[in-house]
Amino acid sequence: MSGKSDALPQVSVDGGRERTRNTLVSTVPFIAVFAIALAVPFLTNDYWVLIATRTAIYWLLVGALNLVVGFAGQLAIGYVAILTLGAYVTTILAAGNVLPPVPPFVALGIAGVAGSVFGVIIGLPALRLRTFYFAITTFGFATIVTQVALAWQSVTGGGIGLPGPEFPAPFNSRLGFYYFCLACAALCTWMTANVAHSRFGRALIAIRDAEVAAEAAGISKARLLITVFIFTGAAAAVAGGLFASLQTYITPDAFTFDLSILFFISILIGGRGSILGPMLGTIILTLLPEIASPLATWSTFLYACLLLAVVLAVPGGIAALLDFKNRKPLLSNRAIVPRASAITEVLQSVQTRETLILRELVLSFGGVRAVDGVDLEVLPGEIHGLIGPNGSGKTTILNVISGYYRPEAGSVRLGDNALEQRSTVVRAASGIARTFQTPRIVGEATVLQNVLIGGTIRGRANFIETLLSLARHRQDEDMAHAEGLLALHAVGLRELADVRADRLQHSELRFMEIARALMGRPSILLLDEPAAGLSADEIKRLGQLVKAISRCGTAILVVEHHADLIFDICDRVTVLNLGQVLAKGTPTEIRVHKEVVSAYLGG
Amino acid sequence: MIASILASGLAVGAVYALIGVTYNTMFSASRVISFTAGMLGMLGGVFGSLFILRLGLPIVVGFALTMACCAVVGVITEFIAVRPVLKSLDQHLYVLSTLALSIMIQQLTATEWSTEPQRFPRLLDVGAGILDEKFWLPIVACGVVMGALEFLYRHTLVGKAFLAIAEDNFAARALGLPERNLRIASYALAGMIGAFAGFAGGELLLAFVANGSLLNFYGFVPVALGGLGNHRGAVVAGLALGIYQQAANFIVGGIFASVAVFALFIVLLLAVPQGLFGAPTVRRV
Domain finish residue from A237, A257, A277: A257
* A144: nearest CA partner in chain B: B258
Evaluate the CA torsion angle A419, A420, A422, A427 in order and state its sign.
positive
Query: What is the predicted pLDDT for the residue at A157?
Result: 83
Q: Which residues of A touch B211 (CB under 8 A)?
A: none
pLDDT of residue A21: 79
pLDDT of residue A418: 86
d(CA A404, CA A260) in angstroms, rounded, equals 37
Q: Break chain B down into helix, strand, coil percent, rounded to 5.
A: 80, 0, 20
Of A122, A132, A308, the CB nearest to B92: A132
The answer to whether the CB atoms of A140 and B217 lie below 8 A apart is: yes
Contact flag A300-B103 (C-beta cutoff 8 Å): yes
What's the mean pLDDT in B8-25?
95
A118 within a domain of the structure (yes/no): yes
User: Does the residue A404 lie in any domain?
Assistant: yes
Band of residue A1 on the pLDDT scale cut at 50, 70, 90: very low
Contact A147 B258 (CB under 8 A): yes
| A196-203: average pLDDT | 94
Do A252 and A360 lie in a common domain?
no
- Predicted confidence band at B280 (pLDDT cuts at 50, 70, 90)? low
Are B224 and A136 within 8 A, CB to CB?
yes
Mean pLDDT across chain A: 87
**A446 and A564: one domain?**
yes
Res B283: pLDDT: 46
CB neighbour burial string for B103-134, b if at least 16 within 10 angstroms, e if fewer: bbbbbebbeebeeeebebbebeeeeeeeebbb
Q: Is residue A434 part of a domain?
A: yes
Interchain pair A301, B103: CB under 8 A: yes
Residues 6 or more apart whose Cβ sits within 8 Å of residue A496: A330, A334, A447, A488, A504, A508
A238 exposed, middle or buried (CB, 10 Å; 0-12, 13-18, 19+)? buried
Distance from CA of B284 to the nearest CA of A (A): 8
Q: What angle do CA A287, A64, A171 make, to 5 degrees?
A: 65
* Out of A250-264, A504-518, B203-217, least confident range: A250-264
Query: pLDDT at residue A336 above 90?
Result: no
Contact A500, A446 (CB under 8 A): yes
Chain-centroid distance of CA A256 in Å reads 31
Between A219 and A269, residue with greater pLDDT: A219
Tell me which H or E stretch contains A515. helix A506-518
Residue A316 lies in a domain: no
Domain residues for the domain of A176 are: 46-257
Assess whether the previous peptide bond of A170 is cis (omega < 30° from 0): yes
pLDDT value of residue B278: 62
- pLDDT at B104 exceeding the cut of 60: yes
Note whether B264 contacts A: Cβ–Cβ < 8 A.
Answer: no
pLDDT surpasses 80 at A237: yes
Which of B106, B255, B274 best tests the A interface by mutation, with the highest count of A CBs <10 A?
Answer: B255
- If you count them, how many residues does chain B have? 285
Q: Cβ separation of A140 and B95 shorter than 8 Å?
A: no
* DSSP-based three-state secondary structure for B129: helix
Distances (CA, A) of A294 to A143, A263, A298, A323: 28, 21, 8, 33
Q: Does B262 contact A141 at a Cβ distance shorter than 8 Å?
A: yes
Note whether B213 contacts A: Cβ–Cβ < 8 A: yes
Rounded mean pLDDT, A180-200: 94
- With beta carbons less than 8 A apart as the criterion, state whether A238 and A184 touch: yes
Q: How far, in Å, CA of B225 to CA of B159, rounded?
A: 25
DSSP structure string for A398-445: HHHHHTSS--SEEEEEETTEE-TTS-GGGTTTTTEEE--SS----TTS
Please compute the mean of the pLDDT values over residues B218-243 and round it to a whole number.
Answer: 91
Q: What is the mean pLDDT of residues A53-66?
A: 95
* Total count of residues recorded for chain A: 603
Residue at a domain's end among A257, A272, A303: A257
> For chain B, which domains are there?
2-271 (1.10.3470)
Q: For testing the chain B interface, which of A75, A120, A133 should be mutated: the one with the most B CBs within 10 Å?
A: A133
Q: Which residues of B touch A303 (CB under 8 A)?
A: 103
Q: Which residues pair with B207 in a beta bridge?
A: B118
The span from the CA of A498 to the CA of A163, in Å, is 52
Q: How confident is the model at residue A585 (pLDDT cuts 50, 70, 90)?
A: very high
Residue B285 has pLDDT above 80, yes or no: no
pLDDT tens digits, one per residue of A428-475: 888 899 999 999 999 888 999 999 999 998 888 999 999 998 999 999
> Does any domain span residue A360?
yes
- Dihedral sign for Cα atoms in the order A337, A340, A345, A351: positive
H helices within B168-279, ranges in order? 169-174, 179-200, 202-205, 211-226, 231-252, 254-271
Render pLDDT for A474-527 as a digit per residue (tens, 0 to 9): 999 999 999 999 999 999 999 899 899 988 999 999 999 999 999 989 999 999
A247 & A395 share domain: no
Cα A100 from Cα A103, distance rounded (Å): 10
Expressed in angstroms, the distance from the first to the final Cα of chain A is 45
Confirm whether A507 is domain-assigned.
yes
Q: Is B24 on the interface with A (CB under 8 A)?
A: no
Residues sharing a CB contact under 8 Å with residue A527, sequence separation 6 or more, in sequence order:
A434, A435, A514, A546, A556, A557, A558, A559, A560
Do A131 and A238 lie in one domain? The reply is yes
> How far does CA B258 lie from the centroid of its chain?
19
Out of B104, B217, B285, the one facing A305 most closely (by C-beta) is B104
User: Considering chain B, what percentage of its residues have pLDDT values greater than 70?
Assistant: 97
Q: What is the CATH number of the domain that holds A490?
A: 3.40.50.300
Q: Which of B60, B200, B225, B211 is nearest to B143 (CA)?
A: B200
- For residue A503, give Cα distances in angstroms to A442, A447, A511: 11, 9, 14
In angstroms, the CA A373 to CA A495 distance is 46
Judge whether B241 and B13 are in contact, CB under 8 Å: yes
User: Which of B32, B80, B96 to mutate to test binding with chain A, by most A CBs within 10 Å of its CB?
Assistant: B96
Domain boundary among A257, A292, A310: A257
Residue B215 predicted with pLDDT over 90: yes
Q: Are residue A430 and residue A574 in the same domain, yes or no?
A: yes
Question: What does the pLDDT read at residue B57?
Answer: 92
Q: What's the total number of domains in chain A?
A: 2
With CB atoms and an 8 Å threshold, state whether B95 touches A131.
yes
Mean local confidence (pLDDT), A382-391: 90
> Is A177 inside a domain boundary?
yes
CA distance B82 to B78: 5
pLDDT, one tens digit per residue, over A303-332 is 888 888 888 887 777 777 777 777 777 777
CB-facing half-sphere around the CA of B216: CA atoms within 13 A? 30
List CB contacts (< 8 A) between B270 and chain A.
124-125, 128
One-letter amino acid of A60 = L
Please, are residues B191 and B10 in contact by the beta-carbon 8 Å criterion? no
User: How far does the CA of residue A542 sit from the closest CA of chain B (Å)?
Assistant: 24
Which residues 6+ apart lie within 8 Å of A129 measured at CB? B269, B273
pLDDT tens column, B116-136: 899 998 888 887 888 888 899
Q: Does B279 touch chain A (CB under 8 A)?
A: no
**DSSP one-letter code for A317:** H
Distance in angstroms (rounded) separating the CA atoms of residues A270 and A322:
10
Phi and psi torsions of A433, nearest 5°: -135, 160
Give the pLDDT of residue A332.
74
Nearest-angstrom CA–CA distance, B242 and A172 = 48
What does the pLDDT read at residue B144?
Answer: 95
Q: Is residue A269 part of a domain?
A: no
Whether residue A240 sits in one domain with residue A387: no
Work out the minimum CA distance from A436 to partner chain B, whole angstroms.
9
Cα A291–Cα A296–Cα A297 angle in degrees, nearest 5: 165
A7 pLDDT more than 50: no
Which of the four pLDDT bands, split at 50, 70 and 90, describes residue B165? Answer: confident
Average pLDDT over residues A210-231: 92
